[in-house]
C-alpha cells in the first residue's frame, strides 16, 4: 500500500523496533508490503488480503514463519482509497493508519471508527494568519478536493473569516475548454489569492500571473512543477507540507537493501538509476547497445532523490505510524491482570487479541520521536497539527527552491498557532472597517464585500457602550461618562455651603445674645419664647440647605424637601403666632377687649405652632409614602455626561408643600400689614411685614427660576432661595434688636421700649411680655 521508499522506511522502522530492548521486548514484529499501483481496486484488495490473513505475500526478512495476526495497516496515501478501505476495515475495527490522507471527512468517527493518521491538514490556517478574506478555491474532482471544498464552506465561511470569490472543480481529463473557462473566471475575479486542493497532475497553470497561490500538501513539494515553464505563474506559492523529520540510519538501510535484495521494485530502481537492464534484457535494448545491469554498480557516488534523506516528509509520517502501532502493542502487553481497561478489568493477550481492543490502545498512544516531535491522536484519530509552511522561491539560476518559512504547532495553552516570516500580499474584497465604523453588506455580494458606515455616538464597533459609559470621539473605546451634580468641591458648591454654615453660625450667635439678655425689656417685649423658636427654626433652615449639595442619595433626596418644608413652616408659624399676639394685645388694650387674651396664652401659642407644623409633617410623610423623591441619572442634557439629580416623585406633593408655606407666609404678611400702624411700642409688626414681603418675593421668583434651571443649577437655585429667605428673616426680625442690645444699650430700657404709646392695662402687661 506504500510507495517504494515509504515501504523501505516501514521495513527500517520494524527492524529498529525489533532491535530495541525497551520497546516490545521478546516480541518480533513482521510486515507485508503491497503495491497499490495507484489503483483503488488493487489497494482495496491488498487491504482485504492483509486483514484476512492470506498467505500470498512477500517479506524482506524470511526469518518470520507462519501467519501471525495483522494488528494494523499503514496506508493508504490517497484520501479516496483510504475512504474505500476504511469503509470495510472499520466494520471489523481493524486499524488503518494513513500517512498522507488528509480529507477532513475521515475524521468522522461514526463512519471510520478505526481510522488514524499521522498527517494533519489545515491550509486554511494561512488565511487566518494573513487576514485574507477574499479568495478563490480550486479543487480536484475526487474525494480529496470535494471534501476540502465542503470543509471550507462549512468550517470557514460561517465564521466570517473568509469569503469565496469562486469555487471551481478541476477536470481530471485536462479538458481544454473547461480549463479555459476556469482561467477566464480567475482573471476576471478581484481575488488575488487562490487555494488549490488538488494533485500535481491537476495543476497546469495557464497564462495567469499576479496571483498568490496556496498549495495543499498534495502538491506543495511536487518537484514535477519546479520547472522554468511554471516559474512565472507559481513563484511565491505558499503551501503546507508534511513536517520534515530526521531518521538516523535510514540511508544506510536503503543502501544495504538495494545492494542485497532482489525483487521487482529494487530492479526497477536499479535500471532507472544506472540506465541498464537486468538479464534477460529485451532484444531491442541489446540491439540498441544498451548496458546490462550487473547488480554491483556503485551506489555511493550517485546523485538520486531516492537516497536523499535530508527532506523526509511522507517517510517520516510512515516512521511515526509504525512506531504508533508498536507503542500501542507495547502498552497492551504491559497490562496487569485485574487492572485492564476491558470488562471485568481484564487485559487483552496477543493470542486472543481482538482488533477493537488494539484500537483502544492505539487511540491513547502518546510518545516522542527521536526528532523531538510528540505523537498522539485526538478523539477523531487525527494527529496533533504539526507541519511546515513552504514558499516557492525563484532562484537566479532559473530554478525553484522550496523554502521553509514557517511552522504550525498546537499547544494546550494557546491552541493552534501559525508562525510565518513573510509579509503578505493583500487579498480582500473590502478593506477592514476602521474603528468607529460598522460593516454594511453590499446587496447581492458575498459577506466579505461591504461598505463602512460611521457608528453612532456612544457605540464601539456599533455596539452600544455599557450603562454609564460613552464612546471616545474616535469611537475607540468606551469610557466612564462624566458626572455632574452640585458638589462640595466646585466653586458654586463651596460658596453656597460656606454661606449656609455662616448663616447657622450667625443664628447661634444671635441666640446666645438673646439668651444672655433674656431678662432685658427688648427681649421680653418681643415674646422671647417664640423668638427662640424662630432662631432655632432658622438654624434648621440654613442646615437643611446642605442636603442639596453633594451627590444625590436616596436618603438625601427624601430628607431634603421634608427638612426644608418642616423647618420653614416652623419658622413662619412662630412669626404668624407672634403677629396674632401683637394684634390681640392691641385689641385687649381697648375698653372691653381684655377677654381676647385668654385665647393667646403661652400654652395656646405653643399648641398653634405645633399644630401648624404637624400639618406640614403630615404632608411630607404622605408625599414620601405615595411618591417618594429618588436619585436619578439624567442623560437628556448631555449624551456623554450623567447629571445626578433628585426627581421630586410627585409634583402635587411638592406643590402642596410650597403652597402651605406660602399660605402661612401670606397670612403673616396680611396680619402684620394690618398691624403696621400700631403705636411705637408694638412696631415689631413693621419688621414682620418687611420680612414676609422679602420672603414672599424670594419664593415667587424661585418658581420660574427653578423650572428653567437644568441639572445642578436647579439645586443651586433652591439653595439660594432657602439662604436668601432665611437671611431676610434673620436680618429683618433680629437685626434691629441686636443692634440695640449690643450697640445702643441705653435704649434697652422699659421706658424706651414703651415709648410714647398708650400704656397697656396693668393686668395684661405680663401677657405682652
Res. 367 pLDDT band, cuts 50 70 90? very high
C-alpha cell at 658: 410650597
Architecture of domain 127-243+388-418: 3-Layer(aba) Sandwich (3.40)
What is this structure's pTM?
0.54
The SS3 of residue 640 is coil
> Between the ranges 29-38, 96-105, 492-501, 599-608, where is the mean pLDDT highest?
492-501
Res. 421 pLDDT band, cuts 50 70 90? low
Per-domain boundaries in the chain: 1-55+67-119+303-372, 127-243+388-418, 437-480, 491-746
Determine the pLDDT at residue 757: 41
Determine the pLDDT at residue 116: 93
Interatomic CA distance for residues 276 and 296, integer angstroms:
12
Do residues 369 and 375 touch, judged by C-beta distance below 8 A?
A: yes
pLDDT at 69 exceeding the cut of 70: no
Mean local confidence (pLDDT), 365-377 = 89
Question: Are the folds of 1-55+67-119+303-372 and 127-243+388-418 the same?
Answer: yes
pLDDT at 161 exceeding the cut of 90: no
Res. 16 pLDDT band, cuts 50 70 90? very high
Determine the pLDDT at residue 451: 86
CA dihedral 675, 679, 681, 686 (to 10 degrees): 40
The SS3 of residue 144 is helix
Distance of CA 440 to the CA centre of its chain: 22
Res. 595 pLDDT band, cuts 50 70 90? low
pLDDT at 717 exceeding the cut of 80: yes
Mean local confidence (pLDDT), 342-351 = 87
Residue with cell 375698653: 591
β-strands 212-215, 238-242 pairing: parallel
Q: What is the DSSP letter of 105?
A: G
CA distances from 602 to 520, 525, 597, 599 (A): 19, 14, 10, 9
Output the average pLDDT for the chain: 81
Comparing 666 with 462, which gets the higher pLDDT? 666
Q: What is the DSSP letter of 367?
A: E
Determine the pLDDT at residue 746: 80
Mean local confidence (pLDDT), 169-195 = 87
C-alpha cell at 539: 438654624
C-alpha cell at 137: 478555491
Architecture of domain 491-746: Up-down Bundle (1.20)
pLDDT at 2 exceeding the cut of 50: no
CA distances from 633 to 638, 666, 710 (A): 11, 37, 13
Res. 11 pLDDT band, cuts 50 70 90? very high
Res. 690 pLDDT band, cuts 50 70 90? confident
β-strand partners of 197: 139
β-strands 238-242, 386-394 pairing: antiparallel
Mean local confidence (pLDDT), 305-329 = 90
pLDDT at 339 exceeding the cut of 50: yes
β-strand partners of 116: 97
pLDDT at 55 exceeding the cut of 70: no
H/E stretch holding 484: strand 482-484
C-alpha cell at 459: 457605540
**Please, which residues have CB within 8 angstroms of residue 306's CB and are 6 or more apart in sequence?**
4, 5, 254, 269, 273
Interatomic CA distance for residues 606 and 610, integer angstroms:
6
Interatomic CA distance for residues 425 and 235, integer angstroms:
14
> Between the ranges 455-459, 565-569, 702-706, where is the mean pLDDT highest?
565-569
CA distances from 244 to 30, 320, 377 (A): 26, 12, 19
Percent of the chain at pLDDT > 90 equals 15
Determine the pLDDT at residue 208: 82
For the segment(s) 1-55+67-119+303-372, the CATH number from 1.10.390.10, 3.40.50.2300, 3.40.50.10490, 3.40.47.10 is: 3.40.50.2300
**Largest Cα–Cα separation, the chain:** 170
Is the backbone of residue 647 left (phi > 0), alpha (psi -120 to 50) or beta?
A: beta
Percent of the chain at pLDDT > 70 equals 85
Worst-scoring range by mean pLDDT, 83-87, 178-182, 315-319, 397-401?
397-401
Mean local confidence (pLDDT), 432-448 = 79
Amino acid at each position: 500500500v506504500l510507495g517504494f521508499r515509504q515501504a523501505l522506511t516501514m521495513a527500517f522502522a520494524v527492524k529498529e523496533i525489533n532491535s530495541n530492548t525497551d520497546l516490545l521486548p521478546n516480541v518480533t514484529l513482521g510486515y507485508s508490503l503491497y503495491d497499490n499501483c495507484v489503483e483503488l481496486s488493487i489497494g482495496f484488495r491488498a487491504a482485504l488480503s492483509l486483514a484476512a490473513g492470506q498467505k500470498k505475500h512477500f517479506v524482506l526478512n524470511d526469518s518470520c514463519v507462519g501467519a501471525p495476526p495483522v494488528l494494523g495497516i499503514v496506508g493508504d496515501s490517497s484520501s479516496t482509497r483510504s475512504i474505500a478501505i476504511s469503509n470495510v476495515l472499520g466494520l471489523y475495527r481493524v486499524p488503518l493508519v494513513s500517512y498522507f490522507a488528509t480529507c477532513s471527512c475521515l475524521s468522522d468517527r461514526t463512519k471510520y471508527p478505526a481510522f488514524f493518521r499521522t498527517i494533519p491538514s489545515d491550509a486554511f490556517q494561512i488565511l487566518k494568519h494573513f487576514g485574507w478574506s477574499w479568495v478563490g478555491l480550486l479543487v480536484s474532482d475526487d474525494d480529496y478536493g470535494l471534501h476540502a471544498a465542503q470543509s471550507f464552506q462549512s468550517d470557514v465561511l460561517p465564521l466570517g473569516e473568509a469569503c469565496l470569490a469562486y469555487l471551481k472543480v478541476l477536470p481530471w481529463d485536462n479538458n481544454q475548454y473547461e480549463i479555459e473557462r476556469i482561467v477566464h473566471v480567475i482573471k476576471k475575479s478581484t481575488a488575488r489569492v487562490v487555494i488549490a486542493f488538488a494533485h500535481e497532475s491537476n495543476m497546469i497553470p495557464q497564462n495567469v500571473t499576479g496571483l498568490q497561490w496556496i498549495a495543499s500538501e498534495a502538491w506543495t513539494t511536487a518537484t514535477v512543477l519546479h520547472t522554468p515553464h511554471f516559474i512565472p505563474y507559481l513563484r511565491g506559492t505558499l503551501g503546507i507540507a508534511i513536517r520534515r523529520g530526521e531518521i538516523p540510519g535510514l540511508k544506510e538501510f536503503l543502501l544495504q537493501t538495494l545492494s542485497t535484495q532482489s525483487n521487482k521494485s529494487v530492479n526497477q530502481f536499479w535500471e532507472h538509476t544506472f540506465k541498464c537492464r537486468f538479464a534477460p534484457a529485451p532484444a531491442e535494448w541489446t540491439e540498441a547497445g544498451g548496458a546490462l545491469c550487473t547488480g554491483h554498480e556503485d551506489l555511493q557516488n550517485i546523485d538520486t532523490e531516492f537516497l536523499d534523506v535530508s527532506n523526509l516528509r511522507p517517510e517520516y509520517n510512515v516512521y511515526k505510524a509504525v512506531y504508533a502501532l508498536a507503542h500501542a502493542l507495547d502498552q497492551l502487553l504491559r497490562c496487569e491482570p485485574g487492572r485492564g481497561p476491558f470488562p471485568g478489568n481484564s487485559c487483552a493477550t496477543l493470542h486472543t487479541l481482538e482488533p477493537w481492543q488494539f484500537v483502544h490502545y492505539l487511540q491513547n498512544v502518546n510518545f516522542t520521536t527521536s526528532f523531538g516531535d510528540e505523537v498522539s491522536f485526538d478523539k477523531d484519530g487525527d494527529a496533533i497539527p504539526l507541519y511546515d509552511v513552504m514558499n516557492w522561491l525563484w532562484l537566479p539560476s532559473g530554478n525553484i527552491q522550496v523554502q521553509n518559512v514557517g511552522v504550525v504547532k498546537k499547544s494546550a495553552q494557546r491552541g493552534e498557532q501559525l508562525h510565518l516570516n513573510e509579509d503578505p500580499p493583500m487579498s480582500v474584497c473590502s478593506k477592514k472597517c476602521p474603528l468607529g465604523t460598522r460593516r454594511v453588506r453590499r446587496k447581492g455580494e458575498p459577506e466579505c464585500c461591504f461598505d463602512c458606515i460611521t457608528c453612532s455616538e456612544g457605540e464601539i464597533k456599533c455596539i452600544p457602550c455599557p450603562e454609564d459609559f460613552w464612546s471616545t470621539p474616535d469611537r475607540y473605546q468606551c469610557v466612564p461618562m462624566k458626572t455632574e451634580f452640585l458638589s462640595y468641591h466646585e466653586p458654586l458648591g463651596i460658596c453656597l455651603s460656606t454661606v449656609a454654615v455662616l448663616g447657622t453660625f450667625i443664628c447661634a450667635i444671635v441666640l446666645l445674645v438673646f439668651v444672655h439678655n433674656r431678662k432685658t425689656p427688648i427681649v421680653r417685649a418681643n415674646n422671647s419664647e417664640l423668638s427662640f423658636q424662630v432662631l432655632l427654626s432658622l438654624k434648621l433652615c440654613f442646615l437643611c440647605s446642605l442636603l442639596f449639595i453633594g451627590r444625590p442619595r436616596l436618603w438625601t433626596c427624601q430628607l431634603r424637601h421634608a427638612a426644608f418644608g418642616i423647618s420653614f413652616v416652623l419658622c413662619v408659624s412662630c412669626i404668624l403666632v407672634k403677629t396674632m399676639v401683637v394684634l390681640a394685645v392691641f385689641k385687649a388694650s381697648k375698653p372691653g377687649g381684655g377677654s381676647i387674651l385668654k385665647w393667646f396664652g403661652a400654652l395656646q401659642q405653643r399648641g398653634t405652632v405645633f399644630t401648624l407644623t404637624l400639618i406640614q409633617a403630615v404632608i411630607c410623610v404622605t408625599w414620601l409614602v405615595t411618591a417618594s423623591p429618588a436619585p436619578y441619572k439624567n442623560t437628556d442634557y448631555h449624551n456623554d455626561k450623567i447629571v445626578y439629580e433628585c426627581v421630586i416623585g410627585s409634583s402635587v406633593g411638592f406643590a402642596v408643600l410650597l403652597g402651605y408655606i406660602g399660605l402661612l407666609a401670606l397670612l403673616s404678611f396680611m396680619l402684620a400689614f394690618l398691624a403696621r400702624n400700631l403705636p411705637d411700642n408694638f412696631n415689631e409688626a413693621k419688621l414682620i411685614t418687611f420680612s414676609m414681603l422679602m420672603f414672599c418675593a424670594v419664593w415667587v421668583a424661585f418658581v420660574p427660576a427653578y423650572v428653567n434651571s437644568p441639572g445642578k443649577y436647579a439645586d443651586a437655585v433652591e439653595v439660594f432661595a432657602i439662604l436668601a429667605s432665611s437671611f431676610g428673616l434673620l436680618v429683618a426680625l433680629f437685626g434691629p434688636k441686636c443692634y440695640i442690645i449690643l450697640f445702643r444699650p441705653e435704649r434697652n430700657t422699659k421706658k424706651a421700649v414703651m415709648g410714647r404709646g398708650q400704656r397697656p392695662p396693668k393686668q395684661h402687661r405680663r401677657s405682652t411680655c
